């Protein structure tokens, strides 16, 4: 199996992070991981084909937003909150607040918490 690589905190670039966050599916992944859980691809994106989901996870990992680790045949992902907060203070919280309150494709076209 190919080893999972992650950029060092000092290598995180705002361009790569913002580019990775500029996709509704990837924003949904970030939001799901924001409470600190480790999740698998299929847990977060059950309706997305495995190849598409894999691409989204790869983009987030390569940008330095996620940390991935193998446990047998399963890959577990978690948000690199500490690294993101240290490198870009306030960015993650601002993005999460926007995702949770603004109508968008991430929340199904309505602000979070509204029917």
Domains of the chain are 11-101 (1.10.10.10)
How far is residue 96's CA from residue 113's CA, in Å, rounded to a whole number?
14
Give CA torsion, residues 61, 67, 70, 74, to 10 deg. Answer: -70
pTM given for the model: 0.83
Position 105 scores a pLDDT of: 52
* C-alpha dist (Å) from residue 6 to 94, 100, 111, 114: 23, 27, 33, 37
Per-residue pLDDT of the chain (115 residues; tens, 9 = 90+): 678 889 999 999 999 999 999 999 999 999 999 988 898 877 788 888 888 888 999 999 999 999 999 888 888 999 999 999 999 999 999 999 999 887 765 544 444 444 4
Contact 96, 77 (CB under 8 A): no
């Amino acid at each position: 199996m190919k080893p999972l690589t992650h950029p060092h905190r000092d290598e995180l670039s705002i361009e790569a992070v913002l580019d990775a966050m500029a996709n509704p599916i990837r924003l949904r992944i970030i939001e799901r991981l924001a409470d600190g859980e480790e999740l698998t691809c299929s847990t977060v994106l059950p309706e997305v084909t495995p190849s598409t989901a894999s691409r989204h996870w790869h983009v987030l990992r390569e940008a330095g937003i996620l940390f991935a680790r193998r446990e047998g045949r399963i890959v577990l992902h978690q948000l690199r909150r500490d690294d993101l907060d240290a490198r870009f203070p306030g960015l993650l919280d601002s993005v999460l607040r926007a995702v949770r309150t603004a109508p968008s494709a991430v929340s199904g076209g309505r602000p979070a918490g509204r029917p």
